[in-house]
Amino acid sequence: MIRNASLLLATTLLASAGAAGAQTAAKPLPLIPMPQSVTRAAGSFTVVDGARLGTPAGDAGAAVAARLLAAHVKVERGLTLAPVVGDAPIRFIRDAGVAGAEAYRLDVDSRGIRIAASGDRGLLYGAMTLAQLISPDRAFGRPAAVPALAIADAPRFPWRGLMIDPSRHFQPIDFLYGVVDQMAAVKLNTLHLHLTDDQGWRFEVKRYPKLTEIGAWRTPPSSGGAPGARVGGFYTQAELRGLVAYAAARGVTIVPEIDLPGHAQALVAAYPEHGVLGDRPPVGHDWGVNPYLLNPQDSSVRFIEDILDELIDVFPGTYIHLGGDEAVKDQWERSPQVQAQMHRLGLKTEMQMQSWLIDRFGAYLASKGRRLIGWDEILEGGLPASASVMSWRGDKGAVEAANQGHDVVLSPAPILYFDNLQSASDDEPPGRLAIQTLADVYRYEPMPAGIAPDKAHHVLGAQANSWSEYLVTPYQVQHALFPRAAALAEIGWSPKAARDFPGFLDRLQPQVARWRRSGMEVADSAFAVGYTLQGRAADALRAGRVTVALATQARHGTIRYTLDGKDPTPRARAYAEPLIVAPGTVIRAAAFGTDGGALAVTRDFATTRAALMTRDASQFAACPSPDSIGLRIPLSTEATANAPAFNLNIFDTCTVYPAAPLSLATGFTVAVARPPRNFGLAHDFTKVRQRYNVTPHGELVLTAGCPVTDGPRPPVLATFPLPDPATAPNRFRFTGSLPAGLADGDICMQFTSPTSDPLYTIEQMQLLERRK
C-alpha cells in the first residue's frame, strides 16, 4: 500500500509543482526529506511559545507524536509547546483515508495546523515535518511563522536504514539513543546493530555468560612494546529493551546482527567447543577477514538457536540479521569432522555447507515468526528460500536475489559505507580512503537497473553502514553519519523525479543547525574551503608569486577570504578567481550561505617558504603498486583524539612526495609514524609487498623518483636503519642532506621493515631551503 500511495503522490507532486513554482517569492521549505507533494498557499500560521498540541482522547500514538514534536521544537527552536487532550490550534487527527502506515497529511492555514494519518508512524512523521517547518532559520526562541500549505506524503521505500557497528569499537548506550532521535528527525526508520564480530561480542546472553565475560573484551595490538589495557564492553538485555522501546516510539525498528559463520573469533574465544579445530584464540584485534568459523555440527547449531531465542525475546522486529559475509572456508576445508558432515549431507562445496547452515537458521527463525536477512555472500552456494539479502558488494547481489523473488536492501560499498572519508582534507578523522562525498550519496539510486519490473517490489530500500574499525568515539561516528544521513533519507523517501542537489543543499543548512542544537557532531567537509597550489612550489618560490585556487566540494555558497590574518565575515572579499599572493601570506577562507551564515569553519592556507616546501600525510601519494587498500589510520587502534592520523596503503608502505622542489633544497627532515600492523587479510596476505631488510628492523630508503618495473633504479638520496619497535617511540624523525644539482621531481620513501614488525608511514616531510 505504501508503494501505491507513493505513485499517486508522485503524480500529485508533478501536478502541484506549477502552483508551488508560481510563488516566486516563497523561500524554499527547509524540509529533509522533501515530501511527495507540497502545495503552497497564501498566508501563514504563527507558532508561539506555549502553543497547544491537541490529540484525540485515548489515542496513545497521537500523544507520543505530540510529545516528540514538543521535544524537538524545544531543542531546535527554543519554544515550549503544550500537548493536551482535545481540540487545539495544532491538532493530530486519525484519518483512515490516509493510506499507508507511514503516510500523513499536513495542512496549514491562518487558523491552525492539522496533522492527519491512519498509523502511528504517519502521525510521527507529520510531527517531524512540522518540527522542521517551525525551525527553519536562526531565530531561536522567537515565534515561528509556518507558511500556509498542504503536504501529502509517504515514503518511496519502506526500509531506510543506518548500521552502527559497536562490535569493533563499543559505543555507550546513550549514544545510540541520540542516533535514534536524529534518525527519526529525517524519517529514517531502521537501525541495524552489528552486535558481534571477531573483535567483540556485545549482546548479553544469559544462558552463555562467557560470550560477554570473555568475548566482549580484547587486548589492543601493539605498535611496539607492551600492548595497552583491555578494552570493550557490552549491552545488557535490559539496556537493549529500553533502547528498543525508545526507538519504537520514534518509528525506528532495530535489526540486530549476530554475524555467522565467519567473523566468529570472539564467540570461539568464549566457547572454543563451538569452533572448528578445538583451539581457543584470543578475542581478535585485527581488522578485516580472520579464519575463525562456527562449527556447523548439530551441537553448535543448537547453541546458536539458544542465542537466537534470547535475541528474539529482546528485539521484536521482523528481521534478524545473521551476517554470512567474508567467511573464508579454510577451517572447514581442514576439518575431518566438517568434511564428513558435508559427505553425509551430499554437499560438494563449503559454500553449500554455509547455505545449508543459513537455511537451518532461517527455518528456525521462521518457526518463531521472524525472517532472516544476511549479507550478499549468502547467495553463494544457493540462497535459502527463507532469506532476504543485504547487498554490499555493489548492486549485483540485489539484482540476482530480487530476480529470484527475494527481498533485498541496497547497501553497496563504497558509496553507502559511511566509514569512508568525506574529503581529502587533512582534518578528516580516520577511515577508508575511498572518499564518498555528500553528492555521491545523493546521486545513488536504490532501484538498480537489471531488476525485472515485476520484481521491483522486492527492493525494500537502502541502508548506509558505518563500520567502526577507525570510528572509535561517538564524535567520530557522528562525523561519519551526518550530514550524509540526510542524503540517504532523501533517496529513500522522496520521489526520484524530485531530486535536486542544489535545492537539497539549501534545505540541508537548517537541518545541520537542528542537529548541532541537538548535540550532534556534523561534518562540514562538503562546504569547507580547499586550497590548490597551482603550478610547482619551486617555480612559485623562484618567482616570488604563489597562485592558489579556492573551492568547496559542493560548490555551494560564496567563498569569502582575508589575507590579513583575520577571520572572514559575510562582508569579506568574495572569491572569484585564483589568488596571486607573495610567499608568506596566510589565506583564510570560508563559504557563506545566502543568509550570511558560515557553512563551514574557516580553513587556512599558509604560503610561507617553509610551508611550500613541506608536505603532510594527507598530501602524499601512494607509490605505484599492483594492489592497494588505502586507509587513514591513527597511531593507536583505541585513540580517542582525532589527530594524528596517517594515510597509507597497507599492502605497500611506500609514499611519494610529488613534484618536490629538490632544486631549492639542501636537506630534509622526515617525520615517521609507526602504527600497529593489525590486518586480517585472509587470502590477500600474498598481496603484501615484502622487501628484503638488510638491517634487523629494515630501513627507510629515500630515492629521487620511484622504481619502475624493468627500468633503471632511481638514485638513492638517503637510507636510515629503523630502530627496534620494542624500545623506540612510535613517532620519530630523521634528518639528512641532499646533493646539489638535483632536479625538481618526486621523492619516493620506501620502508623495508619485515612484515612481522608494525607498519611504518610518513607523517611529514620538510625540505630545507638552500640559503641564497
* Active centre residues (catalytic): 326
Alpha-carbon separation of residue 213 from 208, 270, 317, 600 (angstroms): 9, 8, 27, 44
Write the DSSP assignment of 65-84 as a string of letters.
HHHHHHHHHHHHT----EEE
Going across the sheet that includes 37-47, the strands are: 37-47, 144-153, 104-109, 112-117, 90-94, 52-55, 82-85
Instruction: Report the distance separating Cα 373 and Cα 410, nearest Å.
Output: 12
Write the DSSP assignment of 553-566 as a string of letters.
TT--SEEEEESSSS
Under DSSP, the state recorded for 274 is G
Within 8 A by CB and 6+ apart from 463, the residues are 159, 160, 161, 162, 163, 190, 192, 390, 409, 410, 411, 416
Q: How far apart, in Å, do the first and last CA atoms of the chain sit?
A: 78
Which letter, b or e, does each residue of 397-430 get, where b requires 16 or more Cβ atoms within 10 Å of its Cβ?
A: bbbbbbeeebbbbbbbbbbbbbbbbbbebeebbb
Phi-psi category of residue 326: left, alpha or beta, with phi > 0 → left and psi -120 to 50 → alpha = left
Question: For strand 586-592 and strand 579-581, is the pairing parallel, antiparallel, or unpaired?
Answer: unpaired
Q: What is the CA radius of gyration of the chain?
A: 28
Under DSSP, the state recorded for 420 is B
535: three-class secondary structure by DSSP? coil
Say which residue the cell 560470550 belongs to: 211
Contact 560, 567 (CB under 8 A): no
Output the furthest CA–CA distance in the chain (Å, rounded).
88
64: three-class secondary structure by DSSP? helix
For the packed helices 501-517 and 173-185, what is the interaxial angle rounded to 10 degrees? Answer: 140
Query: Based on the number of CB atoms within 10 Å of its own CB, is 713 exposed (0-12), middle (13-18) or buried (19 or more)?
Result: exposed
Under DSSP, the state recorded for 714 is P
Helices within 322-395 (DSSP H only)? 330-333, 336-345, 350-367
